[in-house]
Amino acid sequence: MLRTRLRRRCASRPLLLRGLAYPIAIAADAPAVMAALLSGLGREVLVAYDRRVKTRAAAFEAALRARSVSVLGSHGMPSGERIKRMQEVVGLHDWLIERAADRRCLLLAVGGGCLTDVVGFAAATFLRGITWAAAPTTLVGMVDAGIGGKTGVNMPQGKNLVGAFWDPAAVVADLAALVTLPIAQRRNGIAEIVKAAVIGDPALLDAVDRVAIDAPPAAWKSVIARAARVKVGIVAADPRERETRAGLNLGHTLGHGFEFASGFRLSHGAAVAVGMRGAGLLAMKRGVWSQAEHARVLRSLLRAGLPLYLPSLDPERVFEGVGRDKKRVGGQIRFTLPLRLGLVRHDEAVTAKEMRDAIACCLRKPARDELRW
Ligand X SMILES: NC(=O)c1ccc[n+]([C@@H]2O[C@H](COP(=O)([O-])OP(=O)(O)OC[C@H]3O[C@@H](n4cnc5c(N)ncnc54)[C@H](O)[C@@H]3O)[C@@H](O)[C@H]2O)c1
For binding to ligand X (CB under 6 A), which residues are involved?
50, 52-53, 79-81, 84, 111-115, 117, 137-138, 140-141, 144-145, 148, 150, 160, 177, 180-181, 185, 188
Nearer to ligand X among residue 152 and residue 370 (C-beta): 152
Nearer to ligand X among residue 211 and residue 363 (C-beta): 211
Give the Å distances, CA to CA, from 302 to 18, 187, 306, 309: 32, 10, 5, 11
The answer to whether 133 and 171 are in contact (CB under 8 A) is yes
CA dihedral 188, 189, 195, 199 (to 10 degrees): 160
In whole angstroms, give the CA distance from residue 36 to residue 2.
Answer: 10
For residue 231, the minimal CB distance to ligand X (Å) is 8
Nearer to ligand X among residue 251 and residue 294 (C-beta): 251
Nearer to ligand X among residue 73 and residue 239 (C-beta): 239
Nearer to ligand X among residue 120 and residue 370 (C-beta): 120
Nearer to ligand X among residue 267 and residue 300 (C-beta): 267
For residue 139, the minimal CB distance to ligand X (Å) is 8
Give the Å distances, CA to CA, from 337 to 133, 249, 316, 361: 33, 9, 22, 16
State the angle between helix axes of 291-303 and 183-200 in degrees (0 to 180), rounded to the nearest 10.
160
Residue 36 parent element (H or E)? helix 30-39
For residue 260, the minimal CB distance to ligand X (Å) is 14
For residue 62, the minimal CB distance to ligand X (Å) is 17
Beta strand spans in 309-358 (E): 328-329, 332-340, 343-349
In whole angstroms, give the CA distance from residue 315 to residue 331.
Answer: 20
For residue 1, the minimal CB distance to ligand X (Å) is 28
Nearer to ligand X among residue 26 and residue 361 (C-beta): 26
Its sign, for the CA torsion 267, 319, 198, 243, is negative
Nearer to ligand X among residue 273 and residue 363 (C-beta): 273
For residue 288, the minimal CB distance to ligand X (Å) is 26
For residue 327, the minimal CB distance to ligand X (Å) is 13
For residue 245, the minimal CB distance to ligand X (Å) is 9
Phi, psi of 25 (to 5 degrees): -125, 150
Its sign, for the CA torsion 265, 266, 269, 272, is negative
In whole angstroms, give the CA distance from residue 43 to residue 49.
Answer: 19
For residue 117, the minimal CB distance to ligand X (Å) is 5
CA dihedral 337, 338, 339, 343 (to 10 degrees): 120
Nearer to ligand X among residue 31 and residue 148 (C-beta): 148
Report strand pairing: 158-165 vs 171-174: unpaired
